[in-house]
Chains A and B, each alone.
Chain A
Amino acid sequence: SSVLTQPPSVSVAPGKTASITCGGDNIRSKSVHWFQQRPGQAPVLVIEHDTDRPSGIPERFSGSKSGDTATLTISRVEAGDEADYYCQVWGTTSDHPGWVFGGGTKLTVL
């Protein structure tokens, strides 16, 4: 099991807004990063340090955090956004050293 909890799946109609949550102990004190992984492809960083969008990532992608829950929001969802999304933090406990990933959320565009 992952120390970062994500919903296994989220479904959204094209043009609507999708929200994917990531919860974990003490996330409030850590930087949360988000990755998109399309089928058969390597992960791509879409949000870094809770809210920052890397160069080349559409403005439709945004990140936020409230307390111990981080949220990836995708506005005006397109068919090409269908993918698995993973949150990530640097783990500092002895049980979870190194980079820690959430279990992933499959985004389905209806």
Chain B
Amino acid sequence: EVHLVESGGGLVQPGGSLRLSCAASGFSFSDHYMNWVRQAPGKGLEWVGRSRNRANSYITEYAASVKGRFTVSRDVSKNSLYLQMSNLKTEDTAVYYCTRETVVLDYWGQGTLVTVSS
């Protein structure tokens, strides 16, 4: 069974950094694209970025709102996906979801809350 478990959320000051982790299990991690999607409190879903699979050299892609500040990476030996966030802004406050992509975003974790506030 596919499982995605996010961790690493918390309270951080504007301008600060935070790294989120997503532990994946139940499928071949290196063969799948992996995405981060976020949801600000009371708002809709927003795609953040993704890591392509091994066949596509784990190339990363980002939304314009986070490009240059966020970095998606993965450690295939640990079956883990990461989101390194820097220069955080109050508008980055959201629940961050890790999602598996098999042409569609077919499995989602339960999310981890990031709050950017002074």
Q: Which residues of A contact B (CB under 8 A)?
A: 2, 33, 35, 37, 41-45, 48-49, 54, 84, 86, 88, 95, 97-104
Contact = CB atoms under 8 A, between A and B. Distances in A.
Given A99-B37, A99-B47, A100-B47, A42 B108 contact: yes
A13 B35 CA distance: 36
Interface string B88-118: 0000000001000001111011110000000
Given A98-B50, A101-B44, A42 B64 contact: no
B31 to A, nearest CB: 19
Contacts of B50: 98-99
A97 B65 CA distance: 11
Given A42-B109, A98-B49, A103-B44, A33 B97 contact: no
Looking at A44, A54, A98, A103, the one whose CB has the most chain B CB atoms below 10 A away is A98
A45 B104 contact: yes
Given A45-B105, A54-B106, A98 B63 contact: yes
Closest 5 CB pairs of A and B: A99-B47, A42-B108, A104-B44, A101-B45, A48-B104
A12 B84 CA distance: 42
Interface in B22-48: 35, 37, 44-47
B61 A86 contact: no
Contacts of A54: 106
Contact of A99 (B35, B64, B110): B35
